Amino acid sequence: MAGWTLGIESTAHTLSFGLVDPLGNPHPACSDTVRPDEGGIHPREAADHHKDIANSLLTNVLEKYDVHPGDIGIVAYSQGPGLGPCLRVGAAIARGISSRLNTPLIGVNHCVAHIEIGRQQCGCDDPVLLYVSGGNTQVIAHLDGRYRVLGETLDIGIGNMLDKFARTQGIPFPGGPVIEKLASEWLENNPNPSLDGLELPFAVRGMDLAFSGVMTAAQRLLDNGAPLGAVCWSLQEHAFSACVEIAERAMSHTGKTELLLGGGVACNSRLRQMCELMTEERDSTSHAPPRMYCIDNGTMIALLGKIEYQNGRVTSYEQSAVDQYLRTDQTPVTWAV
């Protein structure tokens, strides 16, 4: 047994340390997210935040589970994709701990980690993954030894779109949860909503998606006097149904019968409901991990690190550089799916 696995997540706004115990059980992570007073996330400022908070977060997670440094047998970190300065902080911490403790180092693919924690938590076998996060929006399925991207956003991630729209209304990061709240409050007062006067472009391009046009059109609705709650509702309906449409097509093409949600936007109850409706109609099932494992977290990094280690992979220091543009399908899936 390799002891505990420490996972370090630092792809973007969140620094997170998570642990998987020697039996392979994941434990909730200790995380901290940078929340700029205004504007979007600045990569270097986020990296500074990660650097400043790292020591106390690491101490917290070890104390929480009464794990001593000598109990750590594997150190895993997000190698990509993500923001370069943020990734480099996580990688540097991982190298430091691995060298100090003389334990194997494993750089993992952040997107693949979202899939594996989802499979582990939901007990699903061979799902189509709808991965909806800040920077990424992809539909993914396991085919021929890789997780293949069957469709994805051609411009910005759905979460970034929601956050940017929210920011234009003075709502601070992360805007997605506030949009959800405004939409559901509006819906309570408008139980039979109509899209009349609230239409937005539909973001599907074949198997791909695009979100920047939807965001601009939503702002125009506000300029023309539509209430914010109504626009939030319409924005969610349009953007989410575009995602669900390509997920459904991916299930149809691949013949797979499980849908798995991952990424921060998968915290959204309306999106979860839409996925359930779609899969029920197909005699299939929809799965969503607990919200703490949808958002970026160190535990999913630890889990994939342990899986990869058990399948014979370690990352040498020479190979440990981060890759901002690492693709989901660049990582060979050497474990059983």
Q: What does the binding site for ligand AMP look like in residue numbers (CB under 6 A)? A: 133-134, 159, 162-163, 174-177, 180, 263-265, 267-268, 295-296
Buried b (16+ CB within 10 A) or exposed e, 12-39: bbbbbbbbbbeeeebbbbbbbbbeeeee
**Beta carbon nearer to Mg ion, 133 or 137:** 133
**Beta carbon nearer to Mg ion, 133 or 279:** 133
Least separation in angstroms between residue 312's CB and ligand AMP is: 29
Cα 209 to the center of its chain, rounded Å:
17
Phi, psi (degrees; rounded to nearest 5) at 150? -90, -20
CB of 79 closer than 8 Å to CB of 315:
yes
Residue showing the smallest CB distance to Mg ion in the complex: 133
Least separation in angstroms between residue 267's CB and Mg ion is: 12
CB of 329 closer than 8 Å to CB of 147:
yes
Least separation in angstroms between residue 292's CB and ligand AMP is: 11
**Beta carbon nearer to ligand AMP, 105 or 244:** 244
Cα–Cα distance for residue pair 64/62, rounded to 1 Å: 5
Take residue 43 and report the two structure tokens written for it: 């990569």
Of these partners, ligand AMP, Mg ion, none, which one is at the site of residue 295 (CB under 5 to 8 Å by kind)? ligand AMP
Q: Which residue has the tokens 């061979």?
A: 126
Phi, psi (degrees; rounded to nearest 5) at 288? -135, 125
Least separation in angstroms between residue 293's CB and ligand AMP is: 11
How many beta carbons lie within 10 A of that of residue 87, not counting itself? Answer: 29
**Beta carbon nearer to ligand AMP, 208 or 296:** 296
Q: Which of residues 55-74 bind Mg ion (CB under 5 A)?
A: none
Assign residue 192 a region (left: φ > 0; alpha: ψ between -120 and 50; beta: otherwise).
beta
Least separation in angstroms between residue 279's CB and ligand AMP is: 19
121 is a contact residue toward Mg ion (CB under 5 A): no
Q: Which of residues 124-183 bind Mg ion (CB under 5 A)?
A: 133
Binding-residue pattern over the window 287 to 306 for Mg ion, x denoting contact by CB under 5 A = ---------x----------
**Beta carbon nearer to Mg ion, 116 or 296:** 296
How many beta carbons lie within 10 A of that of residue 329, not counting itself? Answer: 18
**Beta carbon nearer to ligand AMP, 152 or 180:** 180
Least separation in angstroms between residue 131's CB and ligand AMP is: 8
**Beta carbon nearer to ligand AMP, 12 or 141:** 12
Cα–Cα distance for residue pair 8/89, rounded to 1 Å: 10
Cα–Cα distance for residue pair 11/78, rounded to 1 Å: 7
Three-state secondary-structure class, residue 156:
coil
Least separation in angstroms between residue 1's CB and Mg ion is: 29
- Reference 60, options 293, 267, 292, 298; nearest CA is 298
**Beta carbon nearer to ligand AMP, 86 or 265:** 265
Take residue 191 and report the two structure tokens written for it: 């139980």
Of these partners, Mg ion, ligand AMP, none, which one is at the site of residue 305 (CB under 5 to 8 Å by kind)? none
Least separation in angstroms between residue 244's CB and Mg ion is: 19
Binding site for Mg ion (CB under 5 A): 133, 296
